Amino acid sequence: MKGWQIVYLKEIKDYVSDKRIRFSAFVMPIVLVITMFYMFGTITNLVSKPSSQAIYVLDQPKLSGESALFVSALTKAGISVKNISDLEKGKSQIAKGSIKLLLAFGPSKPGQINVDEYFDPANEAAQVTVGMLDESVRQANTKAVQALLTAKGIPDYLAQPLNLVQKKVHKGAKSASGVVMALLPYLLVLWSFYGGMGAVGEIVAGEKEKNTLETLLTVPLSRTAIALGKLFSMTTLCFVGALSAVVGVVIAYLLPFQQMKAITKSGLGIHPQSFLIMILVLLPTALMFSALMVSISTRARNIREAMTQLSVLSTVVILPAVFSQFIGLTDFARSTWVSFIPVLNTANTIRLSLSGDMPLTAVAATILVNGSIGLIFLFVTKRLFAKETVLARI
């Protein structure tokens, strides 16, 4: 066994035997991913269920004719319709947020029912309810016009003078489900950083603090071998942290919860090709993060100093990772320059692969950029290990 491999194996065994590291690198990503998917599923379920959209109607019992029929149709569609007898009281409850949408039926003309929709435009839940009602009404209006035209002997397609028909062009590979595409790249990048956070303080700074580093540096191994063994063990931990997030997604999908089914109706859609791309871009990303973290731990006097500096670094990781969630809404996602921004490139490349693309240029650029940064910090770590002043900074 080579020197760096002995150090590497010892560090890996140490991680596995430490309950705290096991929890932060392996258990936490799985638990958090399942929790996030469960929450998203719950929200999706609630938003898409008509029964969860309560609509208040002013003076419902007094309605007659077409208005009463309309309200009855809403009830039949599963929407919860409630009565309120005072418009001002209704408005005040809208302001408080306890009523999302209030319908007030006005004077009707023959063939047209006038309804005022009262809602708070700043209330996002109210906007969902209004959107759902508007879509139902649009469909009902079309049907009514078609029926009217047919009765008059006019072709019913004239109810839609401009007919838009969606023709989906599939790329061959099916894309992953929307929530997986939105969340997974972000989670993978986060955990390839945070996977190593539980151990990085101890890996060098902790050894200084506990007086074990001097002993280690007096064994007949080059300092480069010791640095490499420690760094590659941290790379493994970061990589495994990211893979645990994938395991979390699979477990979340397999769990028999209705909430999960709502967001993965046609399966997860993670293809072997996407998985391969994930591995390819996560490895240099894990190297980049681990080299950065180990160099900070080597430079620091003690665990506390290392963790303070790492918490500042974590914001640099979080920002591009958060931005990656929204980049798909813009044309930037397919711009070449994105592939040259560390962290963002990993998340974006994974997102592109999940959408069914085969982003070879982005994969190559991500490996090149993140791998190069990883190698630079590997070199920095090696240099720091060679400096006696850094090792004696206790």
Partner 1 sequence: MVQVEAVSKTFAGKKGAVVSALSNVSFQAKEGEIFGLIGDNGAGKTTALRIISTLIEPTEGRAKVGGYDCKTNPIDVRKNLGILSGSTGLYGRLTPVALLTYFARLFGESESTVKAKVQKSVEEFHISEFMDRPCDQLSTGQKQRVSLARATIHDPQVMLMDEPTNGLDVQSSQGVLEFVENLRKSGKTVIYCSHIMSEVERLCDNIVILHEGKICASGTVAELKSQVGETSMEKAFLALIGYKAGANS
Going by their DSSP bridges, the two strands 102-105 and 115-118 should be labelled as antiparallel
Closest contact distance (angstroms) between CB of 343 and partner 1 is 32
CA 166 to chain centre: 28
Q: Nearer Cβ to partner 1, position 23 or 157?
A: 23
Measured CA to CA, the distance from residue 183 to residue 328 in angstroms comes to: 12
Residues 6+ apart with CB under 8 A from 125: 100
Closest contact distance (angstroms) between CB of 16 and partner 1 is 10
Closest contact distance (angstroms) between CB of 348 and partner 1 is 39
Measured CA to CA, the distance from residue 130 to residue 278 in angstroms comes to: 40
Strands (E), the chain: 55-58, 81-84, 102-105, 115-118
Closest contact distance (angstroms) between CB of 379 and partner 1 is 21
Q: Nearer Cβ to partner 1, position 7 or 373?
A: 7
Instruction: Specify whether the CB–CB gap between 11 and 229 falls below 8 A.
Output: yes
Instruction: Specify whether the CB–CB gap between 247 and 30 falls below 8 A.
Output: yes
Please report the sign of the dihedral spanned by the C-alpha atoms of residue 89, residue 92, residue 94, residue 97: negative
Closest contact distance (angstroms) between CB of 291 and partner 1 is 23
Q: Nearer Cβ to partner 1, position 7 or 238?
A: 7
Q: Nearer Cβ to partner 1, position 166 or 218?
A: 218
Q: Nearer Cβ to partner 1, position 174 or 210?
A: 210
Tokens read off for 61: 């019992």
Closest contact distance (angstroms) between CB of 17 and partner 1 is 5
Closest contact distance (angstroms) between CB of 198 and partner 1 is 13
Task: Tell me the one-letter amino acid at 359.
Answer: P
Site residues for partner 1 per CB under 8 A: 1, 3, 6-7, 10, 13-14, 17-18, 207, 210-212, 214-222, 388-389, 391-392
Q: Nearer Cβ to partner 1, position 59 or 214?
A: 214
Residues 6+ apart with CB under 8 A from 235: 283, 286, 287, 290, 291
SS3 assignment for 231-283:
HHHHHHHHHHHHHHHHHHHHHHHHCCCHHHHHHCCCCCCCCHHHHHHHHHHHH
Give exposure, 71-90, as e/b (b: 16+ Cβ within 10 Å). Answer: beebeeeebebeebeeeeeb
Closest contact distance (angstroms) between CB of 353 and partner 1 is 38
Tokens read off for 222: 């080059």
Q: Nearer Cβ to partner 1, position 1 or 122?
A: 1
Q: Nearer Cβ to partner 1, position 163 or 211?
A: 211
Closest contact distance (angstroms) between CB of 311 and partner 1 is 24
Residues 6+ apart with CB under 8 A from 54: 79, 80, 81, 82, 99, 100, 129
Q: Nearer Cβ to partner 1, position 25 or 263?
A: 25
